[in-house]
Structure 1
Amino acid sequence: MSTLFTPLKLRSLQIPNRVWMSPMCTYSAAPAGPETGAPTNFHLAHLASRAVGGAGLVMAEATGVRPDGRISPWDLGLWNDRQQEAFARITDAIKAHGAVPAIQLAHAGRKASVDKPWLSDRYVPGTEGGWQPVAPSAIAYDGLAVPHELTVDEIQQLVRDFADSALRALAAGFQVAEVHGAHGYLINSFLSPASNHRTDAYGGGFENRIRFALEVVDAVRAVWPEDLPVFFRTSATDWLTENPEDSREGWTGEDTVRLAKELTAHGVDLLDVSTGGMVRDAKIVAGPGYQVPFAAQARQATGIPTGAVGIITDPHQAEEIVTSGQADAVLLGRELLRDPYWAQHAALELGVEPRWPDQYAYVVKRAPSRPRTP
């Protein structure tokens, strides 16, 4: 029996397996007009195909809780009826193919209003449809615009914006809401001393720097059904303190353990553990499973269920991660872009019957098997 292909129950929600699709921005929404921020036919095909491909949970990419919370003018948003209606079509398709639909609610903070990454990484000014980014402190991300330092009233409005988007996500049919607290975006920039230089209740010591994150979680949890889970994505480290040549103060794995304990107390059901994104020049030694130890550290220290990410490409590697208790699930990104049917192929490799749709199964089961190609 493969642990990777056993269900995981969080609250009353049973997720059919531990192979999940990680949220990945595709920069494919309309930048202006009545369809601004709404998912398109591309998003429908992109997300539903991974459900057909056997993923147990399919998470929609970082979705802005307000127009100026998007990473780029081409990102998804969830602040109006049209966006909500378009998402409902997608959640129906994901559920129809046996997967759980999830959404990552986000605000890009000081990394907002940038170009599509395959064109450039430049800031998009207001004259080209962009906007001024916001942050806990007026400290620019390298090469981007200096952000507006948020007032306390503006911070409280952002908390309400997350709750409003969570309500819309529920109405659109999502069963998991993930709060995006990673990769240098707004919540992460409050957490890290590298980007938060405030001296009020939202800055300074650890308890103040995590205040905004907990307020957002509380607001989302208050409107999200008691029987459905809330996730939190974290960057477990800024990769600053790991470099002895870097004197900058940053967020650490130990900080993540402390935060995980608080998140558990505030109703978070799973910690989705990534790393980095706070500074452009962080020295990261990447390799297969390089971020998994951070998920294992949080899980072992606090008991919170975790999701592991980062160059997880082989079925046996993924099986070992969950079987050994390093994480409760693996979230695949690039590997599911390369192969939307990775989960089905992994099931075969691990001796498990794939969850093919009926339209495929009667053909696939008759066809002679062949080795997986890289």
Structure 2
Amino acid sequence: MTSLFTPYTLKDVTLRNRIVASPMCQYQAQDGRLNEWHQTHYETLAKGGAGLVVVEATAVSPNGRITPGDAGLWSDSQIPEFATVALAIKEAGATAGIQLGHAGRKAGCTPPWLGGRPLLNSDPQRWQPIAPSALPYDSDSPHTPSEMTVEEIRRTQTDFMRAAARAFKAGFDWLELHFAHGFLGQSFMSPKSNIRTDQYGGSLVNRARFLIETVTAVKEVWPSNLPLTIRLGVVEFGEDSEKSMTESVQVLQWLKEAGVDFVDCSLSLAAAGEPVSWGPNFMVPYAERVRAETGLPVGTSWMITDAREADGFIRDGQLDLVCFARTLLANPHWPFQAARTLGIPDPTSLLPTPYAYWLQNWAG
């Protein structure tokens, strides 16, 4: 069996293969609650053969949603729908993961197909975003976030902790904290979005404080035998890309000491217009560097589409897991096709029956 389809164990969790269905916002929730859309979506991803299915960015508080349609776990009343989804993922043979996050200054927007712009003041669903500093994400934006008080920082960290406890109660075995893509955690870390002068701004250790304290708070409720992971924007593309990468390695070393077990290496997007070096597999070298310099197991996504290349990233020790988003959104059965490409004699053995029988005999 090739490397992409070998099991992977982290703490007490064993994935059936190294393929991860990345968290992808569906913008279909109501008041944070999952519904039949999510049930079908995640069950299909799991039946398609991924080893780990991570439920989309789930807000830890109402004002942490990117859009009004975001998933949320800020109330015990939201647990049952998440529990149903987690069970469906597990029954299909995959590990159930969830990503918890807070959108910070990028909160309170319309969904992408309506422009992804801040909700208008006249919109009854609009709320006031919060952030490390009162700086809008886009200089052209008419909406400026409120600078968080220390009390609000503490409250948000408690929100993360309580949402993590709910995630475990719902049956998830893999937890990812979203500290990337210009959302709240990344905004604290980046000097482009954090100009505070207190203990949460200025020096790198101060800018990393929110992340470290949040991980520490979550560890109080998340079982020590289950993976506690993060997604971090490890590089800000542009003139300071090397400096940002060096800082990220240091922050990850601190986070490792705080209890992080794995990092999904992504990009910063700390400010609008970041000159990202888009291209196939472009984040793999950055993840490989993180793995080498921190000792943390890593994964990444972003424009990885070829089964042989993905297999090589595992085989050559560049990645521990390979994360797929649009590839699986377009074709949830991609793992089955990848197994065929890699010459696995019986790719249906990777999937639950009778679904495997259907694929083998009717889906070609």
Identify the TM-score tier after normalising by the shorter chain: over 0.9
Q: Distance in 1 between matches of 2:86 and 2:75?
A: 17
Provide the residue aligned with 2:280 in structure 1: 288
Counterpart code for 2:28: S
Matched residue of 2:354: which SS?
helix
Show the counterpart of 1:33: none
The CA distance in 2 between the partners of 1:83 and 1:188, in whole Å, is 26
Q: Determine if contact 1:114/1:124 at 8 Å carries over to the other structure.
A: yes
Which has the larger displacement, 123-132 or 170-179?
Answer: 123-132
Matched to 2:271, the amino acid is V
1:258 alignment partner in structure 2:
250
Residue 134 of structure 2 corresponds to which residue in structure 1? 138
Q: Which amino acid aligns with 2:74?
A: W
2:320 aligned residue: 328
Within the alignment, does 1:105 sit opposite 2:100 as a pair? yes
Provide the secondary structure at the position in 1 that maps to 2:72.
coil
Select 2:178's aligned residue among 177, 180, 205. 180
Q: Answer whether contact 1:91 1:174 (CA < 8 A) is retained.
A: yes
What is the 5 A alignment of 1:9-158?
9-30=9-30, 36-125=31-120, 127-128=122-123, 129-142=125-138, 143-144=140-141, 145-158=143-156
What SS class does the counterpart of residue 177 from structure 1 fall into?
Answer: strand
| Residue 357 (str. 1) matches residue 355 (str. 2) | no
CA contact (8 A) 1:137 1:198 kept: yes
Equivalent residue, structure 2, for 1:246:
none
SS in 1 for 2:205: helix
Is contact 1:322–1:328 with CA below 8 Å preserved after alignment? Answer: yes
Number of the residue aligned with 2:197: 199
Retained in 2: the 8 A contact 1:21–1:336? Answer: yes
Q: Is 1:340 paired with 2:335?
A: no
CA distance in 1, matches of 2:209, 2:343: 46
Q: How much has 1:121 moved relative to structure 2?
A: 2.2
Residue correspondence of structure 1 range 209-288 to structure 2 within 5 A: 209-241=207-239, 252-288=244-280
Question: Gapped runs of 5+ residues in structure 2?
Answer: none
- Does structure 2 conserve the Cα–Cα contact (< 8 Å) formed by 1:241 and 1:252? no
Q: Is the 8 A contact 2:47 2:355 kept in 1?
A: no
| Paired residue secondary structure (1:330) | strand
Any stretches of 5+ residues in structure 1 without a counterpart? 31-35, 244-249
Shift of 1:126: 5.3
Q: Secondary structure at the match of 2:280?
A: coil
**Deviations along 1:46-95, whole A, 9 cap, x unmatched?**
11101000000000111100000000111010011331110000000000
Q: TM-score, normalised by structure 1?
A: 0.93
> Could you give the per-residue CA deviations for residues 232-274 of structure 1, whole angstroms, max 9, x where no partner exists?
101111213257xxxxxx9611111111111111111100001
* CA deviation vs aligned residue, 1:188-215 (integer Å, no higher than 9, x gap): 0000011000011000000000000001
Instruction: Tell me the CA shift for residue 361 of structure 1.
Output: 2.8
Q: Percent identity?
A: 43
Equivalent-residue separation in structure 2 for 1:337 and 1:221 (angstroms):
32
Task: Please say which of residues 230-239 and 179-188 is displaced more in the overlay.
Answer: 230-239
Would you say the 8 A contact 1:29–1:39 is kept in 2?
yes
What are the superposed Cα offsets for residues 168-225 of structure 1, whole Å, 9 maximum, x if unpaired?
0000011011110000000100000110000110000000000000011111111111
AA partner of residue 281 (structure 2): G
Deviation at 1:112, TM superposition (A): 0.3
CA distance in 2, matches of 1:122, 1:366: 46
Cα distance in 1 for residues equivalent to 2:161 and 2:112: 29
Letter in 1 for 2:179: G
Aligned mates of 1:23, 1:366 — CA distance in 2:
30
Q: Distance in 1 between matches of 2:253 and 2:42?
A: 32
Contact 1:58–1:94 under 8 Å retained in 2:
yes
Provide closer, same or farther for how the CA distance between residues 251 and 77 of structure 1 changes in structure 2, counting only shifts above 3 A.
farther
Provide the TM-score with structure 2 as the length reference.
0.95
Distance 1:337 1:301 in 2: 32
Q: Give the whole-Å Cα distance in 1 for the aligned partners of 2:243 and 2:99.
A: 22
Kindly provide the CA deviation profile for residues 106-130 of structure 1, in whole angstroms up to 9, marking residues without a partner as x.
0000000000110112211454201
| Aligned CA distance change for structure 1 residues 121 and 363 (closer, same or farther; 3 Å) | closer
Q: CA RMSD in A?
A: 1.5
Preserved CA contact (<8 Å) 1:49 1:340: yes
Contact 2:193 2:271 survives alignment (8 Å): no
